[in-house]
Amino acid sequence: MTATGIFESDGRAVPYAVEGDGPVSLVLLAPSDLEGDGMGVVAHYLAEEAGFQITRIGSGADASTSQRVADAAAVADHLGITDTWIGGYGFGGTIARHFAATHHDRVNGLLLLGVEDAPIPLAPVIPVLIIQGANDSNNPPANGERLQSTAPERATVTTLDGADHHFPATHPMETAVIIEEYLDWD
């Protein structure tokens, strides 16, 4: 069952949803609101079938990047999440990269889906899973490959054949299985 809520962070209403109660925690940052992030089915699979605890965090209205990072940290604190994998799709992944860079002591690993071309270095030490849609013209596979080349010893890229920009919504099971297998928590 999914528990949803709104957390007030500096006057912004930040929506979140928590599903599952397994030992593996994964926080997924939505590019905007939770309904439009395309990650609902992926999150449900990872919670129900893989036994993960999935927390999806949306954005406060008109929040800057630094505010979104602060909002994610505040929601995590509110929920008692002290260490987790963190990730997101598209802009949500960009926010996750910022979060990992500024809160690396709280992050076990980074999950990036549809990597944007953004000049944000990867946080040190942590493993990184990058998933790209082979036919994504907005965030092409080259974005993920470029990012992976900055930390080849700890970053892995998987490309979904036949998948376009909306692959978390159009290929949710394939996306979820890649995540589950990478984290190897069967």
- pLDDT tens for 115-151 read 999 999 999 999 999 999 999 999 999 999 999 999 9
pLDDT, residue 63, reads 85
Quick one: which of 33, 93, 10, 86 has its CA closest to 55? Answer: 86
Residue 99: phi and psi, rounded to 5, are -60, -50
pLDDT for 35: 76
How far apart are alpha carbons 185 and 105 in whole angstroms? 22
Residues of the chain with pLDDT under 70: 1, 36, 60-61, 185-186
User: Facing residues of 12 across strands?
Assistant: 9
- The pLDDT, as a whole number, for residue 68 is 93
Number of domains in the chain: 1
How far, in Å, CA of 48 to CA of 51, rounded?
6
List the one residue out of 128, 109, 114, 86 whose CA is nearest residue 171.
114
Domain of 6: which CATH number?
3.40.50.1820
Residue 55 has a pLDDT of 96
What is the model's pLDDT at position 73? 95
What domain range is 31 assigned to?
Answer: 2-183
